[in-house]
A and B are shown apart, each in its own frame.
Chain A
Amino acid sequence: MRRPPARRALTAGVAGAAAGMLLLSACSAGESVDLDGADGDATGASDLPVLRAAIAGEPDQLDPQSTSSYFAFQVLENVFDTLVEPDENLEMQPALAESWEVSDDQLTWTFHLRDGVTFHDGSDFTAEDVVYSYDRIVDEELSNAWKFAAVADVAAVDDLTVDITVSQPTPNLLSNLGGFKGMAIVEQGNVESGDITTAPIGTGPFSLASYSPGESIDLVANPDYWGGAPGIGGVHYTFVSEGSTAIAALQNGEIDWTDSIPAQQLEQLRGTEGVEVGTSPSNDYWYLALNEANAPWDSVAARQAVAYAIDRESILQAVSYGTAEENQLAIPEDSVWYTEYDEYDLDLDRARELLAEAGVTTPLTLDFLATSDYPETVTAAQIIASNLEPLGITVDIRTVDFATWLDEQNTGSFDLLMMGWLGNIDPDDFYYAQHHSDGGSNAQGYSNPEVDALLDAGRVETDDDARQELYAQAATTIADEASYIYLYNPSVVQAWSTDLQDYTARSDRAIRFRDVTLAGS
């Protein structure tokens, strides 16, 4: 999934009219947030404190299968379940499916569902719900339909058993089914009434109590959750896109958790009493891509020249204040799929040689497509412009909004662009769509039959070691030929009150509140 908008502004003689209100308000200062609407029909709502979380933007809607917004998934992570789900090491664990097995020919996966699970409205969760949910994604051609490319059929064997038939061995089926809540099991009635966009019903640890567009979303704990009732009474989400405001609210004790944090304020935040800053290397990555449809970037040597000319260290510092990890391949170091690779050191002489080898005549102008929606692309573009200047390459930075950016990328009107990919788990997620000749996201136009063969083989290889070997080979070839020039894996950075216990910032950015407790308040 393309990184969705996951981002993120005294003088005063107070007038007489305002002063009156100030007095009025001072009296009630410090009261906690109440869960309006949840009070009346509370289904055994506990007296446990409610967690107040500020996320950096508002979900576009709350249908997990339709949205592609990270803000929606931050909420829906706690409302919905998938068949399997990643643990902290991103290995798939039982969730709605208690166990599963694969047939000897690798073509039939049988999932045994958890018994006694109910949706938030009290109805039973059965195999039919799984079939309905998956069929919906395929039939309505929702944006995640590609995850079912290898799936031939989904069928209920009995109430608690589901068979998934695939057309070829699919070792990454589990990560496709459980990698994120876009593959959540939804309820048919909730979908058909259309309520799912604002009042979704799931099987998760929290149920939606109310949604006030523009303002807040309230979740209450689901006492009947199959994994046990949560240790907090609920979650109150607000949408605070201005990072400094979110941090002020956290320091002021108005919220307990946020991920709306400007990198430059991280140091100051780390020193704040009562605030815990959690960072985790993420499995997202940022890269540069040169458009191979435009000469001279169709030449491997010319692309390598750029790779040798850029100063990764400076880019890293400027965009992340040192929180990101430099990486010259896509997969981060702590993943089991990591491959070591550090070919491209800053070396201008080598870059000049390569340009000469490619027969490039300078001066040359390069069109850098950046987007204001991801400020890191603009910052990096400025550094890259000064990096390439000594080579006789003038970088024209073109900054557009993300909607235009997508259009320009798709129509190939760029020489160089920078972007990130987020939410990758299986190595196939990291490489296939981006570098296979038939890949759906190969905007740079890379095509190498050898890499295609490796990526095709990786899709069906069921032996982990053999698979690792295939992807290591594919990845190093991709980097050698500079299909992407990899830059870094950013860190997940979140901050919370020290009252919040047992919370961890996860490398897949899943915001899970089911196991946390809240002291104090």
Chain B
Amino acid sequence: MTGSGALRFLARRVLHSAVVLLGVMVVVFALVHLVPGDPVRIALGTRYTEESYQALRAASGLDRPLLEQFVSYVGHALTGDLGVSFRSGEPVTTTLLQRLPATVSLAVVGLLVALAISLPAGIWSGLHEGRLSDAVVRVTSQAGVSVPDFWLGQMLILVVAMTLGLLPTSGYVALSQDPAGWARHVLLPGLTVGLVAAAIMTRYIRTAVLEVAHAGHVRTARSKGLPPRVVTGRHVVRNAMIPILTITGIQLATILGGVIVVEVVFAWPGLGRLVFDAVAARDYALVQGAVLLIAVLFLVVNLVVDVLYSVVDPRIRLS
């Protein structure tokens, strides 16, 4: 790949992403306004006067025509101003940036846990198709996929936090503030997210390895008499890396997009809970901003995965 090719690729992807983001804005804006439920009434409770209702409606700009609200929203969004949360009065951008570290922490730890389990398990299982170890992995991962995350979380709290007393049950500490405290708090939710993701990823990775193992070039390599270790390392795993990367990217993006149930169980201040609460309150600006941020995270993860494709497999060009 040449330098200018990569640049052109990036430029095209950024342009592409901008179009996607605009689409996301239109859809989200339309959806949040279509959902029944009046944010002003929710914010006021029910025992209010008609004057209070009109005053808050006007103060929050909700009395303006929808199109006008949208145009002004997009205009401001371009400058990084995502509006003001209807309930808290805080800039949405500030709120989102405050939540991002917790979400990224949980996603990274969860993904590391998932990879640490699913990579060896999936590859081993794929290479030993039909053996007892393969069956064990398949059954375990099937069980893992079937276990609800809230139950897993509560069991971890019960065993690790309460019975063994090793870790706190819930809460969050910023990494920048207290790394040890951060680690103690992120472990249980991270394990929960990671174990669930590991179960899914193990199955994908096993399938990917199996497919490659049955492919013609691997059979050829084997028949040439290459040592199994070389066949496995150079041919099978390497070629299975593309689907593995894909599923890893998808899982990462999913976790970044919010694992609401896990966040609720562990009182984790991530984006998922924020969006959940914001939707319940019809906090339009906050919902729109959060979805936009999650969309950006998705696009970034996708872009990184695309770039990694060409690293893993030089035949894939960034074009």
Contacts and interface: CB of A to CB of B under 8 A. Distances in A.
A249 B170 contact: yes
B49 interface: yes
A24 B180 CA distance: 7
A245 B266 contact: yes
Interface string B199-215: 00000000000000000
A239 interface: yes
Nearest to A182: B45
Contacts of A373: 280
A94 B52 CA distance: 29
A178 to B, nearest CB: 17
Interface in A1-27: 1-2, 4-5, 9-18, 21-22, 24-27
Contacts of A14: 191
Interface in B150-198: 150-162, 165-172, 177, 180-181, 183-184, 187, 190-191, 194-195
Contacts of A401: 37, 280
B180 A28 contact: yes
Contact of B47 (A212, A239, A433): A433
Interface string B23-45: 00000000000011111011111
B15 interface: no
A443 to B, nearest CB: 9
B162 A251 contact: yes
A325 interface: no
B308 to A, nearest CB: 20
B187 A25 contact: yes
B80 to A, nearest CB: 19
Contacts of B102: 214-215
A440 B165 contact: no
A517 interface: no
Contacts of B42: 402-403, 406
Interface stretch (A110-118, A140-148, A375-383, A502-510): A140-148
B44 A68 contact: yes
B88 A406 contact: no
Interface residues of B, number: 81
Interface string A295-328: 0000000000000000000000000000000000
Contacts of A408: 36
Nearest to B116: A15
A406 B41 contact: yes
A141 B187 contact: no
B154 to A, nearest CB: 6
Contacts of B158: 10, 248
Interface stretch (B243-251, B267-275, B291-299): B267-275
**Most chain B CB inside 10 Å of its own CB: which residue of A5, A11, A197:** A11
A68 B43 contact: yes
B227 interface: no
B169 A252 contact: yes
Contacts of B190: 18
A283 interface: no
**Most chain A CB inside 10 Å of its own CB: which residue of B49, B54, B171, B280:** B171
Name B's interface SS. Answer: helix
A141 B191 contact: no
B49 A214 contact: no
A228 interface: no
B55 A18 contact: no
Interface in B1-39: 35-39
Given A18-B113, A140-B55, A245-B265, A12 B191 contact: yes
Contacts of B277: 57-58
Interface in A213-244: 213-216, 238-242, 244
A242 B187 contact: no
A9 B45 contact: no
Nearest to A260: B267
A402 B282 CA distance: 10
Contacts of A213: 88, 90, 95, 98-99, 269
A213 to B, nearest CB: 5
Given A245-B169, A406-B38, A440-B48, A28 B181 contact: yes
A1 B2 CA distance: 66
A61 interface: yes
**Most chain B CB inside 10 Å of its own CB: which residue of A4, A57, A241:** A241
B47 A9 contact: no
Interface in B72-105: 87-90, 95, 98-99, 102
Nearest to A13: B117
A17 B116 contact: yes
B45 A1 contact: yes
B49 A245 contact: no
Nearest to B268: A214
Contacts of A143: 43-45, 47-48, 52, 56
A252 B162 contact: yes
Given A12-B156, A21-B187, A1 B117 contact: no
A43 interface: no
B154 A9 contact: yes
A142 B261 CA distance: 34
B52 A214 contact: no
A251 B169 CA distance: 10
Nearest to A54: B267
A215 B269 contact: yes
A407 B37 contact: yes
B300 interface: no
B195 A242 contact: no
Interface of A: 1-2, 4-5, 9-18, 21-22, 24-29, 31, 36, 54, 57-58, 60-61, 63, 66, 68, 140-143, 145-146, 194, 197-198, 212-216, 238-242, 244-246, 248-249, 251-252, 254, 373, 400-404, 406-408, 410, 433, 440-441
18 contacts: A2-B46, A4-B45, A9-B148, A11-B195, A15-B117, A15-B194, A18-B112, A57-B277, A61-B88, A141-B56, A212-B98, A213-B88, A238-B267, A239-B267, A245-B267, A252-B168, A403-B35, A441-B46
Given A10-B160, A14-B191, A215-B102, 9 more contacts: A1-B47, A12-B191, A28-B181, A54-B267, A212-B98, A215-B269, A403-B282, A408-B36, A441-B47
Interface of B: 35-39, 41-49, 51-52, 54-56, 87-90, 95, 98-99, 102, 112-113, 116-117, 140, 143-144, 147-162, 165-172, 177, 180-181, 183-184, 187, 190-191, 194-195, 261, 264-267, 269-270, 273-274, 277, 280-282
Instruction: Please list the 8 inter-chain residue pairs (A to B) with the smallest Cβ-Cβ separation, ordered nearest first.
Output: A9-B150, A403-B37, A214-B269, A141-B55, A25-B184, A68-B45, A15-B116, A60-B87
